[in-house]
């Protein structure tokens, strides 16, 4: 409340709050192969998913388009998985060097398959949490690779084929690719 993002999305916030998403046709009622959105966010990383949720909270009919896992590089392939692996190695180190604190162990086993399964589970849990926030905020998640066709038009390559969407505003939040 009180936060004006009109410069971001090009729509005056008071109008959006006065007439929430009810003025835009629902995805299911849209013509075949088309949908209307006030905002289409391209990219499901931290910038994209936060922007999509905020736009929806402000009453804008919002879609987020992402081909991969929600959360982007940091959550799925970078920061979070790395810190999860570091945490496992810290536990191992603490057990091996805990004698000064009265902790000793005759043997310590490391199961790399279990460590990597734990790493994947942490990222998957956080990513699914983002999907849950989308449902609560009423953000439409479109799985696929987006291409901007021009002003207000986006095509999305999905598993089912190419679909075109019209939108008043496009927010590109495509993030980074790991080196």
Rounded average pLDDT per 10-residue block, the chain, 179 residues: 50 38 36 70 96 97 96 93 96 93 91 97 95 95 96 94 95 79
Rounded CA gap, 63 and 39, in Å? 6
Looking at residue 178, its pLDDT comes to 57
For residues 157 and 27, the answer to whether their CB atoms sit within 8 Å is no
pTM over 0.85: no
Looking at residue 3, its pLDDT comes to 54
Looking at residue 32, its pLDDT comes to 43
Rounded CA gap, 23 and 12, in Å? 15
Rounded CA gap, 44 and 30, in Å? 24
Please work out, in degrees rounded to the nearest 5, the angle formed at the alpha carbon of residue 19 by the alpha carbons of 13 and 32: 110
Count CB neighbours of 92 within 10 A. 14
Looking at residue 119, its pLDDT comes to 96
Looking at residue 20, its pLDDT comes to 37
In degrees and rounded to multiples of 5, residue 159 shows phi and psi of -65, -25
User: What digits encode the pLDDT tens for the residues 105-146?
Assistant: 989 999 999 999 999 999 999 999 999 999 999 999 999 999
């Amino acid at each position: 409340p009180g936060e004006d993002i009109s410069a971001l999305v090009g729509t005056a916030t008071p109008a959006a709050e006065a007439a929430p998403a009810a003025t835009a046709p629902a995805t299911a009622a849209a013509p075949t192969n088309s949908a209307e959105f006030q905002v289409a966010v391209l990219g499901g990383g931290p910038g994209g998913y936060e922007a999509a949720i905020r736009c929806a909270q402000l009453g804008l009919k919002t879609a987020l388009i992402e081909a991969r896992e929600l959360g982007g590089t940091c959550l799925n392939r970078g920061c979070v998985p790395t810190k999860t692996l570091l945490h496992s190695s810290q536990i191992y180190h603490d057990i091996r060097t805990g004698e000064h604190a009265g902790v000793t162990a005759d043997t310590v086993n490391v199961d790399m398959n279990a460590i990597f399964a734990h790493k994947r589970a942490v990222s998957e849990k956080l990513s699914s949490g983002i999907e849950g926030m989308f449902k609560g905020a009423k953000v439409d998640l479109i799985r696929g690779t987006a291409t901007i066709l021009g002003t207000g038009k986006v095509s999305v390559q999905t598993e089912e084929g190419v679909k075109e969407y019209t939108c008043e505003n496009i927010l590109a939040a495509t993030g980074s690719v790991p080196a």
